[in-house]
A and B are shown apart, each in its own frame.
Chain A
């Protein structure tokens, strides 16, 4: 582009603030030695890595001021009373195979107390326990994927920190019918949580994991989360995170998905809150027949900013990927979508699709789209589309002529717009639950501006 390269301004150069003076962790002697060494080197790496700058394409259009995190603090344990409140608020699906609740980076409960899945050879444990009990297995898969969308410094910090979250290992043929639910809560000024999800599905296994990220109270908290999915031959893995942070909290989520032969992986995001949210999602199709779905729903109001970067990486022949990201923007909200499809040399017969749709609900909102393609193979079916628009007057008129007020009509159209993605998560109850959350957030947002 013939656009000028702006010199780094003062603000960007002074971004370097002491996010953490020392590694955000407590030494646990039970943890394996390899893990200890890994965390040490990650901490060194974190200190060495530069802060993102605007001239980095992965941070183009990004609001770098939001990276001035000030002092982040390890999240403190909560008093028993507050934990109890949090448990009561951890309402999800009626039928799940496992439910974990983490508050301030600590497990406060799991149901059932011992996994009923163990009979199938499934390992479903808090990551910290899995590191102790299945250290070798975790080592084989733990953070093997380097971030590819600009979040190296965050990933290094995450790797050096105390982690919450789960390790799910599905041996060959293990199929979990009901979803596994994980709640992550954060509370306390500058409290920082590090949720981690590691899902390994061996041949023909299948599972769905649904995570909810929520604020307990109005404190400005931070979350730096990562999710790694590995879908081996013929397996099916679905992963979804739904975040409903308060409007002062910030969240960086980095996910990487690796899909093997004839396997399927779905990675979904629902963004409903947060002051500033950065998602980096990578899907790698590494063997023929691999299929990946990347879905996202965003409802952005107030001053919220969602900054999403995606990569669909086709490394083998006969693979497919489908991305659909939808945002509804209100007030002075801002979104960035930067998606890239890469079809590597020799990855012939690739089908790759990428679609970003923005529905503008206010005159002050801003949507940035950068849908990208890099094709280096033949016999490729590839398309991407990006649209930004608003609700049509004719649509409103249609509703009106049937006695539905403009306000209700706008609501219905917005929900319908977002529900097109929600229903692809493939679970009716989940769809209903998420839609309720969208409606709740929408009404709260409207009330705040009224």
Chain B
């Protein structure tokens, strides 16, 4: 492939500078740098945690200290995270507000910059926007509350709805799952708690926006979504972060529980700035005939490691991961999926598309596990990678274990470039090289983009389509 002109490079990269702004830091609570027992107690005191949460956090800190970094398979870049130089808790000390008028102006401005026009809000069922550690704004439409749906931040969830919360909290992703899930368990704050009662189908997607706005500040949200028998919900999460001079750590834990016949869709669009370590553990538990879908779009960050998983625990449970990753210069998108079949006739599907631009590196890492004594399990995995430049890199590392003769799995991966013929053809019809390249990249991911619901198309368009087109010419 020939070297493309700068316009082309710009066309296929995403302008991340629109998220590149910040406001003065005015934090009323600050746990300081580093992580010790004192930090944990400080967080517990500020948040007024119940005793069981305090114990939980302290146990998690021990696990975090004992766990080695997973650098025997993961990027050595992890060694550049200096846990002592990170602030683990910050809060405005404000309670979640219910009315839009009570939201501080700078937070409102943040939303403006994120591109959520006010008029769009009424189409959204509820907005749970996290400004740093605590939810700054929370608005759940009355009709949903009437149905008994709970949509609060996780702090409120563990206090006000302890009976449901404690039953599943830490059960899908145990503290000891990995070093970063242990870290999150020790210092988590913010995130959402959602409970949907049996049979309730939430028509509007629930939505939360996250931001990081303090230098060297790790953000450790904890989200728990429980959807009871026969109920359905779609949850959407979007992230942009302003650019800082030193690395920022983001390490979330998201647990989903789909009771029999329930459906959960969890949609993420993220556009971190290029210095963020984004190390996230996401997993769903699907009971009989339930469905868990992860739809994920990863853009930006220095290193993203994210492998959404589904444990199919009940007969005929279904799991799906649909993922788009774009790695630009100096970025490493290490994403994938984890499908654990634990019951008969469970099916899983993984479709992953990645684009590597400049010196960007996109990695797919997958795990499919079908143990003994099960019947009729199926997995389909497809990974496609698109390389834009000579120096772009892509890797694929799947691991598939199948025991027994009553299952079917298939894995396919391909790597390709935007073909010169294609570009030439489009140029013949009057498009510039940049526009042609942009169109090709869009075409590559188009079938997955359609998986994102209409409500989210604004964010996605902003992140992929419009930004590309805007930078042409």
Contact = CB atoms under 8 A, between A and B. Distances in A.
22 contacts: A1-B365, A1-B367, A2-B281, A2-B338, A345-B391, A346-B390, A348-B1, A358-B402, A361-B405, A365-B405, A366-B403, A368-B402, A369-B399, A370-B400, A372-B398, A373-B394, A378-B390, A383-B413, A384-B413, A386-B398, A387-B411, A389-B408
B405 A362 contact: yes
Contact of A1 (B336, B390, B392, B393): B336
Closest 7 CB pairs of A and B: A360-B405, A373-B396, A390-B405, A382-B415, A366-B403, A388-B402, A363-B404
Contacts of A387: 408-411
Given A4-B177, A363-B404, A373 B417 contact: no
B145 interface: no
B395 interface: yes
Contact of B401 (A61, A376, A384, A389): A61
Contact of B396 (A3, A372, A380): A372
Interface string A33-75: 0000000000000000000000111001100000000000000
Contacts of A146: none
B432 to A, nearest CB: 21
Contact of A380 (B309, B387, B397, B409): B387
Contact of A378 (B176, B389, B406): B389
Most chain A CB within 10 A, of B68, B283, B385, B395, is at B395
A299 B396 CA distance: 28
Interface in B135-150: none
Contact of A5 (B68, B410, B416): B68
Interface string B159-202: 00000000000000100111011000000000000000000000
A61 B400 CA distance: 10
Interface of B: 1, 67-68, 70, 72-73, 173, 176-178, 180-181, 281, 283, 307, 309, 336, 338, 365, 367, 372-373, 385, 387, 389-417
A424 interface: no
Contacts, number: 161
A395 B403 CA distance: 22
Nearest to B361: A376
A129 interface: no
A370 B178 CA distance: 21
Contacts of A371: 396, 398, 411, 413
Contacts of B178: 2-5
A338 to B, nearest CB: 8
Given A363-B406, A386-B411, A378 B394 contact: no
A444 interface: no
Contact of A368 (B181, B397, B399): B399
B343 to A, nearest CB: 16
Contacts of A3: 177-178, 338, 367
A374 B400 CA distance: 18
A370 B387 contact: no
A230 B282 CA distance: 47
Nearest to A55: B72
B409 A388 contact: yes
Given A1-B365, A2-B309, A362-B404, A385 B338 contact: no
A363 B374 CA distance: 9
Contacts of B395: 372-375
A446 interface: no
Contacts of A388: 400, 402, 407-410
Given A1-B73, A375-B415, A378-B1, 19 more contacts: A1-B365, A2-B177, A2-B181, A2-B281, A2-B283, A3-B177, A57-B72, A61-B399, A345-B391, A360-B402, A370-B397, A370-B400, A378-B392, A379-B1, A385-B413, A386-B400, A387-B411, A389-B410, A390-B405
